[in-house]
Amino acid sequence: MSYSFWIILTGALVASSCALLGCFLVLRKMSMIGDAISHAVLPGIVIAFLISGSRSSLPMLIGAALVGVFTTFLIEFISKKAKMQNDAAIGLVFTFLFAVGIIMLTLFADKMDLDADCVLHGEILFIPLDILTTGTFVDIVPRKIWILFIVFIIVIIALRIGYKGFLITTFDPSYAVSVGISAVLWHYVLMTLVSLVTVVSFESVGAILVVAFLVVPAASAYLLTDNLVRMLLIAVGVGVLSSILGYFLAKWLDSSIPGSMTATLGILFLISFLLAPKYGLLPRKLLRKKA
């Protein structure tokens, strides 16, 4: 398999997991919580890295996912108990945790091969080079791709099993409570999944650009359909398309791959913002003129 193929596949896997979860974030008006989690998992990643000495071990995933959930908990705590307005609570918590993460990175720079650049850009270029050495067919696929693939499967299984729970708690929380479905439980399940995906993706696309993959495909899909299943599928499609086009854009301009993938996402969003049949800007303007 070629080098480019693995990079595009990495992007596509990140984009797919993110897009699926992002749909629920966008529908629940929680996009900025996704942003907060993706920044805030950094100290979790660094600590887990220091303990386990590697980037993609199980403790690392669990540790960082816990930090993600802790972040949402802390935001809620500050906004409810200390009565800080919600937007400020989000801003305060994630900037603080991210700052802690960056300082830890600088302090332990010599103890690990992880740096601020990796946090911002990701290191997608190195992913195809990291191959497992078991001597079986497993070695054909880069290590990180296995991990991203497993997480993708976990996301799909979780959404398949919890589809009803997510659906009802997203669209009608009060009805959910009345039929005995816990909105809090599904909230935290979603937050855990978002943290997990953010943690495995940060190395490929950087901690901040993960948010682009979470929100932009979902928002584009939201403009194109009213049906949740279709929205999920379209979002995945947009995500995958952007990782393919973004890769070639990056190659053409000789620029950062995740940056280019994000820029492509922006263009795809712009297209659906302008041209979406029912909710796009131009069709609505034309309709108004006719009427």
Partner 1 sequence: MRELLEFLSLSNANVRYVVLGVMLLGASTAVVGTFTFLRKKSLVGDAVAHSVLPGICLAFIFSQVRHPLVLLSGAFISGWLSILSIDFITKQSRIKADAAIAIVLTVFFGVGIMLLSYIQSTGNAAQSGIDHFLFGQAAALVGNDVIMLAIVCAVLVVVVWLLFKEFSILSFDADYAQSLGLPVRSIEFVLSTLTVIAIAVGIQAVGVVLMAAMLITPAAAARYWTNRLSVMLLLAAMFGALSGFFGSYISYSAPKMPTGPWVIIAVTFIAFISMTFAPERGFFFKWLSKKRKVNTTMDENILKIFFHLGEKEGDALTSRKIAQLQARRYFEESKMQASLKRLCRDGKVEEDEHGWKLTKVGVIESKRIAKLHRLWEMYMSKFLKIPADHVHEGAESLEHFFTPELEEMLEQELDFPETDPHDKPIPYTKTSVS
Q: Return the number of the residue (48 or 97) whose C-beta is nearest partner 1.
A: 97
Q: Judged by CB under 8 A, which of 108, 141, 281, 283 binds partner 1?
A: 281
Question: Is there binding between residue 20 and partner 1 (CB under 8 A)?
Answer: no
What is the 3 state secondary structure string of the chain? CCHHHHHHHHHHHHHHHHHHHHHHHHHCCCHHHHHHHHHHHHHHHHHHHHHHCCCCCHHHHHHHHHHHHHHHHHHHHHHHCCCCCHHHHHHHHHHHHHHHHHHHHHHCHHHCCCCHHHHHHCCHHHHHHCECCCCCHHHHCEHHHHHHHHHHHHHHHHHHHHHHHHHHHHHCHHHHHHCCCCHHHHHHHHHHHHHHHHHHHHHHHCCCCHHHHHHHHHHHHHHHCCCHHHHHHHHHHHHHHHHHHHHHHHHHHCCCHHHHHHHHHHHHHHHHHHHCCCCCHHHHHHHHHHC
Question: Is there binding between residue 103 and partner 1 (CB under 8 A)?
Answer: yes
Question: Is there binding between residue 83 and partner 1 (CB under 8 A)?
Answer: yes
| Among 144-152, 153-161, 233-241, 274-282, the segment contacting partner 1 (CB under 8 A) | 274-282
Binding mask 175-214 for partner 1 (x = CB under 8 A): -------------------------------x-xx-xx-x
Shortest distance in whole angstroms from residue 179 CB to partner 1: 26
Residues of this chain that interact with partner 1 (CB under 8 A) are 26, 29-32, 34-35, 39, 78, 81-85, 87-88, 90-92, 95-96, 98-100, 102-103, 106, 109, 116, 120-121, 206, 208-209, 211-212, 214-216, 218-219, 222-223, 250, 253-256, 258-263, 265-266, 269, 273, 279-281
